[in-house]
Amino acid sequence: MNIFNSEEQEHIAHAIGLAEAHTSGEIRICVEKRCDQEVLARAAECFDKLGMHKTNLRNGVLIYLSIDDHKFAIIGDAGINNKVESDFWDTTKDKMLTHFREGNLMEGIIAGIESAGRKLKVLFPSEQDDVNELPNDIVFMNRQK
């Protein structure tokens, strides 16, 4: 099962790069075919497995999707969660869901990336010595592309 073709994967990675260009924050996309547990719990497991809690300022953001189950979650590390408004993640999810309901999976993911990137830019502006701490490619947990 192919979720994204190579061009779509490159487009998403490019959107992450653009979003991270003005912030020290890190954004990752994690995709699985199925999620057999509560989606936030699984997203937290993936967050940990991907080492996203190891960023210098604890400002990583994970967008997790379970394709067959039509589930998704957005979670941020302690550094960003302590600074965003209480409804920020829900508002971001709503922006993504608008695209998902229209069958535009890639556009929904990019909307989430852009929303997170704008917030990270304000809360964690990039520094001169900022380095990209995590890869920008999509992580396929079940080897599904």
16: phi > 0 → left, psi -120 to 50 → alpha, else beta; which? alpha
Cα(78)–Cα(83) distance, integer angstroms: 9
Q: Tell me: pLDDT of 85 over 50.
A: yes
Is the separation of the CB atoms in 84 and 76 below 8 Å?
A: yes
| pLDDT band per the 50, 70, 90 thresholds, residue 144 | very low
Q: Assign a CATH topology to domain 6-126.
A: Diaminopimelate Epimerase; Chain A, domain 1 (3.10.310)
Q: Tell me: pLDDT of 49 over 60.
A: yes
pLDDT more than 70, % of the chain: 95
Q: Which residue has the higher pLDDT, 53 or 130?
A: 53
Phi first, then psi, for residue 64 (nearest 5°) are -110, 135
pLDDT at 102: 96
pLDDT at 145: 41
Enter the pTM of the model: 0.93
Q: Tell me: pLDDT of 34 over 60.
A: yes
